[in-house]
C-alpha cells in the first residue's frame, strides 16, 4: 500500500529528470547550445541586414576575411561569403532534416510491418532492403540523381532512399522483440486487429528507437547532402548550399583558402553538434543505458569508511555475517536493502535463507564477497567473517582471489551464467585454472572428473557440448561443478532450483546435499520455497524487508513458527493432500484484511 | 450436464515439419499429440505437466492464438474453426486468457484505463459512459482501488498486475477463462490471495476455468479435475483428490513423489 501512495508523487519529477539527464551530459549540452545558436541564426537570416547572396561583383572578388562590408570576405565572383554561408546553411539543414524525416517514415514503416508480419513478407521486404544496402551509398545516390536529373529536390530523394535501410533494419529488430511479447497477444484477445496492434501497441514502444536513430543519422544526412552538392548534383548555381560552396571554393584552395574553409568549418560544427547531441539523446532514451549499463561497476562493492565492525560472534563458523547493512545510492541518499543482518553457517551445515521477492536475500548473498554492483551499491555497516578474517577489510586482490576458491556461488539460471560460445568442459577448466596452476591436460582431467562427480553421464563426451545442448538440470549441474572446482569452504546457492521442473529439482537438491555432506562444506541456500528448505536445510533464517525475523532449526521453525510473519508465510504455502481446505484456511487468514490485498 | 464449456477431440499441433525447397525434410516438433479433454460448464479443469509438455501450446490453441494441426475444438458449443473465421472478436467473447507473467502482459506505455477500455469497446461494444461504469465494477471485483485507472503497469507489484490482467479477462464477459500459470511468478502470500480471488470470481460470475500449472499443490487446492500432460499427451485424467492420493500413471507417481513437502517432524 505504501508503494501505491508514493507512486504519483514520484511521477511528476521523472519527466524533468530526462531533461536533467541530458543537461548533465556536458558534451550533449555543448552540442545543444551550438545547434541552438545555428538554428537561431538561420531562422533570423531573412531579417538580418545581409547583402544579396547571389549578387556578383567581379571587382570585389576574393576579398580576405574581415574586409569592411564583407565580414567573411568574398568568393571568386565577389559574392558575400557570410550571406551565402547563412543562406546555404539554411538550405543544407532543411534538406538534411527533410531527408531524415522521409527516410525515418518510410524506413520505420517497412521495418515495423516486416517485423510484425514475419515469415514471407518479412523475407521479401528485407531482401529488398538488403539489395538497397548492397550498393555503396554514394553510387546509389549518384544513380538516382543521374536518373532524375541534378537538383536539390532530387538530391533530397536520393539521400532519403539511401538511408531507408538503416531505419528499416533497426526498427525491424526492435519490433521483432515486441511482437512475441504477451501484451501483443493480450491485445489480440481483446479484439484488436493487426493495424490497430501495430499503431497502438507496437509503435509507442518502438518510437524511442526511431527517435534515437533519427538523432544519430541527421548529421550524416547533412554530410551526404553536402557531398552530392560538392559533386555538382545537388544545389544548382547560383543557389548556395554548404556543399556547393565547398565545391566552388576548391579551385581557389591555394590562393584564397577561406572560400572553402568557411563552409567546411560550418559543416563541421553542424555535424559534430548533431552527433554529440544525438549520443546524449540516446543515452537518455535508451532504457538499457539509463538503468546504468554505462556506469562501469567496480570489481568490489564500495564499503563505507566509517562502518561499524561488530566482532565475530560465532568463532567456529565457516562464514559469519555481523550487523551487515547494504544499501543503494539513489540521488544523495542511501536506500537500505539489508538492515543489520547477522547470520552464520558452520562447516558441514546448510543454512536456508528464505523470504519473498524484494526481502533482500540476494543482496545479502552478494554482499558476502562484495559482489553487489557499485555504484550504486554500498555496504554501510557490518562485517563478514570468513574463518576469522573480515572479508570487507581484505585488500582488493586478496578478496578477488578468495572468490571461487574459498566462497563459490551457484546462481538461479544456468543458461545466463554459462557462456554460450564455449563448451561446458572448457568453462569448468577455466574455473580450475583461475586458482590453480596445473598443466592443461591435468586441468582437463580434473574438469571431466568434476562433471562426472556432479552426475553428468558420459562426462568426457558431454564436456565438449555447448550450454544450449544441455537440459536445464544438466546446466545447473555444470554450474555446481564450477562452484566445486576449487574445493571452497562455503557455497552460496541463490535460488539454484527455481528455474527447474519439480522432478529435476528433487535430483539437484539430492546432489547438493550429498556433495555438501561428503566434503563438509558450509552451504548458504537462498530460496522462497518452504518445501525446498525442509528438504535440504539444517537451519533456516526468515527474512523480511531486509531484516531477519526468525532463525532456528528447520523442523522447529516449520512446525512451530514464532514470528507472525513466518506463521502467515507458512500458512500460505499450499501442500499436497490439503486440497480445497487450503483456500478455506487462507480465506481465514486474509478475512478482514482486504486492504492488504496487494 | 448441459453443454460442455470446452470439448477437445484428438487435438494435435506440430511445429515445423514439411519439406524445404530442396526437398529435405524439416525438423518437426509434435508439441501436442492427439489430446482429448472436456471441461464442463462451471468446472475447473487443471492441466499439469513440466516445461515442454505442451500445456501452453494447448492453451494458445484454445484461445485462437495458435491454429491446430489436426483434431476438433468446440468452445461453448461452437466450432473453433468457425470462430476463427469470424475474426479475433468472436473468439475473445467466448474465451479469455490470463498470462503467466502479469507485467509482461500489460503494455508498458498504456494506462490501465486504456488497457481495460479495449475489450469493453471492441468486444462488448459499450458506449463511453457505460465503459467507465463497467471499469469501476471490474476493479471492484478484483479488489483494486479506483485510482488504478490512471496509472501505468510498472507502478504495480506482480500480484496487483495479475489482478488487473484478470480484470481485463473478465471485461470481455467470456464465461470460459484459460489461466496459464497465473500464480507461478508470485510470492506465496500473494499467490494465496490471487487463488482466493479466482475462486470467488468463479462463483460470482459462473465461470469455467482451464487452469494450467506445474505446481501440484496449487492445482489440488483449486481444481475439480486434473489432467496430467507428458510430452504432448494426456496420460491421466482424474478428480483432484483421487489423482494425488492414488496416482495411476508412472509419470504422475514420479511427479507426486518429487513435489517438495514441508516436513514438520
pLDDT value, residue A70: 86
Q: Answer for the pair B210, B58: CB distance below 8 angstroms, yes or no.
A: no
Q: List the beta bridge partners of residue A237.
A: none
Nearest CA in chain B to A208: B109
pLDDT value, residue A335: 87
Place B203 in a pLDDT band, splitting at 50, 70 and 90.
Answer: very high
Q: Which of residues 532-551 of A touch B (CB under 8 A)?
A: 532, 534-535
Closest chain A C-alpha to B7 CA, distance in angstroms: 20
Residue with cell 468446472: B43
A424 closest CA partner among A468, A463, A460, A469: A463
Residue B176 host element (H or E): strand B176-180
Mean pLDDT of A477-503: 90
Residue B229 has pLDDT above 90, yes or no: yes
Contacts of B265 in chain A (CB under 8 A): 555, 559
Residue B136 host element (H or E): helix B128-141
A575 touches chain B (CB under 8 A): yes
Mean pLDDT of A94-120: 94
Per-domain residue ranges of chain A: 16-46+75-292, 563-598
Q: What is the largest CA-CA distance in chain B?
A: 65
Cα A279 to Cα A21, A285, A559: the distances in Å are 12, 10, 59
Closest chain B C-alpha to A472 CA, distance in angstroms: 10
Q: How many CB atoms neighbour CB A59 within 10 A?
A: 7
Number of domains in chain B: 1
Measure the CA–CA gap between A467 and A420, rounded to whole angstroms: 6
- Give Cβ neighbours of residue A539 (< 8 Å, ≥ 6 apart): A349, A350, A351, A352, A551, A552, A553, A554
Residue-number span of the structural domain to which B219 is assigned: 6-102+175-258
The sheet carrying B44-48 orders its strands as: B95-98, B176-180, B208-213, B44-48, B225-230, B233-239
* Residue B27 in domain: yes
Residue A282 has pLDDT above 50, yes or no: yes
Q: Answer for the pair A375, A461: CB distance below 8 angstroms, yes or no.
A: no
Measure the CA–CA gap between A95 and A88, rounded to whole angstroms: 11
B89 touches chain A (CB under 8 A): yes
Phi, psi of B215 (to 5 degrees): -100, 110
Residue A586 host element (H or E): helix A581-590
Mean pLDDT of B175-191: 89
pLDDT value, residue A291: 55
Angle among Cα B114, B115, B118 to the nearest 5 degrees reads 80
Rg (CA), chain B: 19
For chain A, first and last CA: distance in Å?
7
Q: Which of residues 99-138 of B touch A (CB under 8 A)?
A: 99-101, 104-110, 118-119, 122-123
For chain B, first and last CA: distance in Å?
45
* Residue B108 in domain: no
pLDDT value, residue A261: 92
Closest chain B C-alpha to A358 CA, distance in angstroms: 10
Residue A15 has pLDDT above 60, yes or no: no
Q: Say if the Cβ atoms of A185 and B104 lie within 8 Å.
A: no
Q: Is A248 helix (H, G, I), strand (E, B) or coil?
A: helix
B176 closest CA partner among B105, B75, B89, B87: B75
Measure the CA–CA gap between B105 and B109, rounded to whole angstroms: 12
Which DSSP letter does residue A365 get?
A: H
Set of cell numbers at residue B168: 481485463
For chain A, what is the mean pLDDT?
87
Q: List the beta bridge partners of residue B20.
A: none
Q: List the beta bridge partners of residue A549.
A: none
Q: Among residues of chain A, what percentage have pLDDT more than 90? A: 43
**CATH code assigned at B81:** 3.40.50.300
Residues B138-165: b if buried by 16+ CB within 10 A, e if exposed: bbebbbbeeebbebbbebbbbbbbbbbb
Q: Answer for the pair A247, A234: CB distance below 8 angstroms, yes or no.
A: no
Residue B146 has pLDDT above 50, yes or no: yes
Q: Among residues of chain B, what percentage have pLDDT more than 90? A: 49
Nearest-CB residue to B187 (from A356, A532, A534): A356
Which DSSP letter does residue A243 get?
A: H
pLDDT value, residue A294: 57
B158 touches chain A (CB under 8 A): yes
Which DSSP letter does residue A70 get?
A: B
Q: Say if the Cβ atoms of A555 and B265 lie within 8 Å.
A: yes
Q: List the beta bridge partners of residue B19.
A: B25
- In tens, the pLDDT along A28-52 reads 999 999 999 999 999 999 998 888 8
* Residue B114 in domain: no
Measure the CA–CA gap between A363 and A325, rounded to whole angstroms: 10
* Residue B118 in domain: no
Closest chain B C-alpha to A232 CA, distance in angstroms: 47
Residue B265 has pLDDT above 70, yes or no: no
Residue with cell 480445497: A580
Mean pLDDT of B123-147: 91
- Strand-pair category, B6-16 with B28-39: antiparallel
- In tens, the pLDDT along A224-280 reads 888 888 888 888 888 888 989 998 888 888 888 999 999 999 999 999 999 899 888
Q: Say if the Cβ atoms of B260 and A534 lie within 8 Å.
A: yes
Angle among Cα A175, A178, A183 to the nearest 5 degrees reads 145
pLDDT value, residue B21: 67
Q: Say if the Cβ atoms of B220 and A357 lie within 8 Å.
A: no
Measure the CA–CA gap between A490 and A321, rounded to whole angstroms: 13
| Residue A352 zone, left/alpha/beta (φ > 0; ψ -120 to 50; rest) | beta
Q: What is the fold of A16-46+75-292?
A: MetI-like fold (1.10.3720)
Which of residues A415 and A592 earns the better pLDDT score? A415
Cα B218 to Cα A255, B156, B213: the distances in Å are 87, 24, 8
Q: Say if the Cβ atoms of B143 and A580 lie within 8 Å.
A: no
Q: Which of residues 182-211 of A touch B (CB under 8 A)?
A: 182-183, 185-193, 200-201, 204-205
B203 touches chain A (CB under 8 A): no
pLDDT value, residue A598: 41
Contacts of A506 in chain B (CB under 8 A): 257-258, 260
Q: Answer for the pair B91, B84: CB distance below 8 angstroms, yes or no.
A: yes
Q: Which of B106, B188, B213 to mutate to test the interface with A (most CBs of A within 10 A)?
A: B188
A362 closest CA partner among A432, A413, A435, A296: A413
Residue with cell 546504468: A292
Measure the CA–CA gap between A247 and B197, rounded to whole angstroms: 75
Mean pLDDT of A147-154: 89
Mean pLDDT of A167-177: 93
Phi, psi of A206 (to 5 degrees): -85, -20
Measure the CA–CA gap between A219 and A273, rounded to whole angstroms: 8
pLDDT value, residue A580: 80
State the complex-level ipTM: 0.90
B247 closest CA partner among B226, B263, B233: B226
Nearest-CB residue to B50 (from A4, A190, A501): A501
Residue A97 has pLDDT above 80, yes or no: yes
Nearest CA in chain B to A503: B258
Amino acid at each position: 500500500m505504501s508503494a501505491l501512495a508514493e507512486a504519483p508523487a514520484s511521477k511528476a519529477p521523472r519527466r524533468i529528470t530526462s531533461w536533467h539527464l541530458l543537461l548533465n551530459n556536458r558534451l550533449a549540452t555543448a552540442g545543444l547550445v551550438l545547434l541552438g545558436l545555428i538554428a537561431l541564426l538561420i531562422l533570423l537570416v531573412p531579417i538580418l541586414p545581409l547583402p544579396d547572396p547571389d549578387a556578383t561583383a567581379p571587382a570585389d572578388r576574393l576579398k580576405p576575411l574581415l574586409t569592411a562590408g564583407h565580414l567573411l570576405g568574398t568568393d571568386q565572383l565577389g559574392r558575400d561569403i557570410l550571406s551565402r554561408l547563412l543562406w546555404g546553411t539554411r538550405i543544407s539543414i532543411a534538406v538534411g532534416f527533410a531527408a531524415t524525416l522521409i527516410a525515418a517514415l518510410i524506413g520505420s514503416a517497412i521495418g515495423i510491418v516486416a517485423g510484425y508480419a514475419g515469415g514471407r513478407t518479412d523475407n521479401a521486404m528485407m531482401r529488398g532492403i538488403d539489395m538497397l544496402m548492397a550498393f555503396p551509398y554514394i553510387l546509389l545516390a549518384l544513380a538516382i540523381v543521374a536518373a532524375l536529373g541534378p537538383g536539390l529536390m532530387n538530391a533530397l530523394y536520393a539521400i532519403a532512399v539511401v538511408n531507408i535501410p538503416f531505419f528499416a533494419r533497426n526498427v525491424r529488430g526492435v519490433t521483432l522483440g515486441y511482437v512475441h511479447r504477451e501484451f501483443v497477444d493480450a491485445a489480440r484477445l481483446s479484439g484488436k486487429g493487426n493495424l490497430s496492434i501495430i499503431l497502438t501497441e507496437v509503435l509507442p514502444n518502438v518510437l524511442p528507437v526511431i527517435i534515437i536513430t533519427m538523432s544519430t543519422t541527421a548529421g550524416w544526412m547533412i554530410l551526404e547532402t553536402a557531398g552530392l552538392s560538392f559533386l555538382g548534383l545537388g544545389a544548382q548555381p547560383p543557389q548556395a548550399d554548404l556543399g556547393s560552396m565547398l565545391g566552388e571554393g576548391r579551385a581557389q584552395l591555394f590562393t584564397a583558402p577561406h572560400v572553402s574553409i568557411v563552409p567546411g568549418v560550418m559543416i563541421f560544427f553542424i555535424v559534430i553538434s548533431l552527433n554529440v547531441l544525438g549520443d546524449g539523446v540516446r543515452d537518455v532514451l535508451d532504457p538499457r543505458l539509463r538503468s546504468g549499463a554505462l556506469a562501469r561497476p567496480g570489481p568490489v562493492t564500495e564499503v563505507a569508511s566509517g562502518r561499524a565492525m561488530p566482532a565475530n560472534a560465532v568463532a567456529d563458523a565457516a562464514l559469519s555475517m555481523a550487523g551487515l547493512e547494504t544499501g543503494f545510492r539513489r540521488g544523495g541518499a542511501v536506500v537500505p536493502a539489508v538492515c543489520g543482518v547477522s547470520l552464520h553457517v558452520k562447516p558441514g551445515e546448510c543454512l536456508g535463507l528464505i523470504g519473498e521477492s524484494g526481502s533482500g536475500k540476494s543482496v545479502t548473498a552478494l554482499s558476502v564477497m562484495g559482489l553487489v554492483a557499485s555504484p550504486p551499491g554500498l555496504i554501510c555497516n557490518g562485517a563478514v567473517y570468513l574463518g576469522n578474517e573480515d572479508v570487507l577489510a581484505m585488500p582488493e586482490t586478496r578478496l578477488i582471489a578468495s572468490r571461487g576458491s574459498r566462497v563459490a556461488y551457484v546462481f538461479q539460471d544456468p543458461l545466463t551464467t554459462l557462456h554460450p560460445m564455449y563448451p561446458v568442459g572448457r568453462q569448468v577448466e577455466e574455473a580450475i585454472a583461475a586458482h590453480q596452476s596445473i598443466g592443461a591436460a591435468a586441468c582437463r582431467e580434473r574438469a571431466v572428473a568434476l562433471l562426472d562427480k556432479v552426475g553428468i553421464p558420459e562426462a568426457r563426451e558431454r564436456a565438449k557440448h555447448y550450454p544450449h545442448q544441455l537440459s536445464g538440470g544438466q546446466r545447473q549441474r555444470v554450474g555446481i561443478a564450477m562452484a566445486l572446482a576449487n574445493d571452497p569452504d562455503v557455497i552460496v546457492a541463490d535460488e539454484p532450483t527455481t528455474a527447474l521442473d519439480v522432478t529435476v529439482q528433487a535430483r539437484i537438491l539430492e546432489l547438493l546435499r550429498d556433495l555438501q555432506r561428503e566434503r563438509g562444506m558450509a552451504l548458504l541456500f537462498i530460496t522462497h520455497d518452504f518445501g525446498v528448505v525442509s528438504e535440504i536445510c539444517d537451519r533456516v533464517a526468515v527474512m523480511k524487508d531486509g531484516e531477519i525475523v526468525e532463525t532456528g532449526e528447520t523442523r522447529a521453525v516449520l512446525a512451530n513458527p514464532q514470528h507472525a510473519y513466518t506463521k502467515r508465510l507458512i500458512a500460505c504455502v499450499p501442500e499436497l493432500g490439503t486440497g480445497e481446505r487450503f483456500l478455506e484456511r487462507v480465506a481465514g487468514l486474509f478475512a478482514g484484511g482486504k486492504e492488504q490485498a496487494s | 450436464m448441459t453443454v460442455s464449456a470446452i470439448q477437445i477431440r484428438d487435438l494435435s499441433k506440430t511445429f515445423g515439419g514439411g519439406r524445404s525447397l530442396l526437398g529435405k525434410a524439416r525438423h518437426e516438433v509434435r508439441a501436442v499429440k492427439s489430446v482429448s479433454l472436456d471441461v464442463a460448464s462451471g468446472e475447473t479443469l487443471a492441466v499439469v505437466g513440466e516445461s515442454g509438455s505442451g500445456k501452453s501450446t494447448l492453451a494458445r490453441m484454445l484461445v485462437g492464438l495458435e491454429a491446430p494441426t489436426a483434431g476438433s475444438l468446440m468452445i461453448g458449443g461452437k466450432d473453433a474453426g468457425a470462430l476463427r473465421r469470424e475474426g479475433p472478436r468472436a473468439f475473445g467473447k467466448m474465451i479469455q486468457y490470463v498470462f503467466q507473467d502479469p507485467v509482461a502482459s500489460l503494455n508498458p506505455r498504456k494506462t490501465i484505463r486504456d488497457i481495460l477500455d479495449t475489450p469493453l469497446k471492441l468486444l462488448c461494444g459499450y458506449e463511453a459512459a457505460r465503459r467507465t461504469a463497467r471499469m469501476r465494477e471490474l476493479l471492484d471485483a478484483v479488489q483494486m482501488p479506483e485510482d488504478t485507472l490512471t496509472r501505468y503497469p510498472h507502478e504495480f507489484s506482480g500480484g496487483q498486475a495479475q489482478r488487473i490482467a484478470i480484470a481485463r479477462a473478465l471485461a470481455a464477459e467470456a464465461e470460459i477463462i484459460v489461466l496459464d500459470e497465473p500464480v507461478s511468478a508470485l510470492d506465496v502470500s500473494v499467490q494465496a490471495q490471487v487463488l482466493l480471488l479466482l475462486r470467488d470470481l468463479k462463483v460470482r460470475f459462473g465461470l469455467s476455468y482451464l487452469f494450467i500449472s506445474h505446481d501440484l499443490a496449487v492445482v489440488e487446492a483449486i481444481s475439480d479435475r486434473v489432467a496430467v500432460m507428458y510430452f504432448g499427451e494426456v496420460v491421466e485424467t482424474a478428480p483432484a483428490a483421487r489423482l494425488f492420493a492414488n496416482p495411476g500413471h508412472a509419470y504422475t507417481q514420479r511427479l507426486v513423489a518429487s513435489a517438495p513437502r514441508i516436513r514438520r517432524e
